[in-house]
A = this chain, B = another copy of it.
Amino acid sequence: MKPNGALVLFSGGLDSTTCLYYALQKHKKVVVVSFDYSQRHKIEIRKAKKISSLLKIPHQIVKINPAIFRNTSLVNKEIKVPKNFSSTQKIPNTYVPGRNILFLSYATSIAEGLGLNEIYIGVNALDYSGYPDCRPEFIKAFQNVISIGTKSGDEKHTIKIQTPLLHLSKKEIVLLGQKLKVPFHKTHSCYDPIRGKACGKCDSCLLRKKGFEDAGVLDK
């Protein structure tokens, strides 16, 4: 049987939720996957679960031993998440070594096993934190790995990585989300929440804030 359907990498944030709603427009069969690596903002998984159960779509949570990811403020609570960090050439300490490589790898195995032909990932290379694993060249390189390194690729029905947000600004993502009726108030973006509330000052909060302001949309 020819593979059909989409697997969406879903963190419960603004970008991946918009990406999920986008995939739902294109595919009847959609499965989502989230990763629990004891991230500082683990609350995102709870948010993600609420959205997937609202949408009644299968949701797989993959546990990753947090010891795999060292030297990142998103896991190691002894490293502070930078606040009011202005985008420079330097990769911030919120970078998680090889995270999207690992996430896309899991997605590849799951999608191939379930016979799904597309993987959606909400990476964005405009209003982002400069992570190397969010760039178009990275996605292209990983696509090549799937094409060459899997049975489905060998049989000429390669799983395709879809990145609908890759070249959108945060403003455009908010406008797309609004059009797709994304429940923004159920999404979570903050890296460093305090008792479940967004800090308002980390990179992720600032990018989100700017996006909503530029789009003229109220972020509840």
Contact = CB atoms under 8 A, between A and B. Distances in A.
A151 B95 contact: yes
A150 B63 contact: no
Interface in A43-81: 60, 62-63, 65, 67-71
Q: Taking chain A's interface residues, is the majority helix, strand, or loop, or is none over half, making it mixed?
A: helix
A155 to B, nearest CB: 8
A220 B74 CA distance: 49
B151 A70 contact: no
Interface stretch (A22-30, A105-113, A173-181): A105-113
B109 A150 contact: no
B137 A101 contact: no
B91 A151 contact: yes
Contacts of A62: 65, 68
Given A141-B149, A145-B142, A149-B98, A69 B133 contact: no
Interface in A137-181: 137-138, 141-142, 144-151, 153-154
Interface string A79-111: 000000000000100011111111011101110
Given A91-B154, A98-B108, A106-B102, A113 B69 contact: yes
A40 interface: no
A111 to B, nearest CB: 8
Contacts of A148: 132, 135, 137-138, 141
A114 interface: yes
Nearest to A109: B98
A65 B64 CA distance: 10
B135 A101 contact: no
Contacts of A113: 68-71, 97
24 contacts: A60-B67, A68-B110, A91-B154, A95-B151, A96-B109, A97-B108, A97-B109, A98-B105, A98-B150, A101-B146, A101-B150, A102-B108, A102-B109, A104-B105, A105-B105, A132-B149, A132-B150, A132-B154, A135-B148, A135-B149, A138-B145, A142-B145, A142-B149, A144-B145
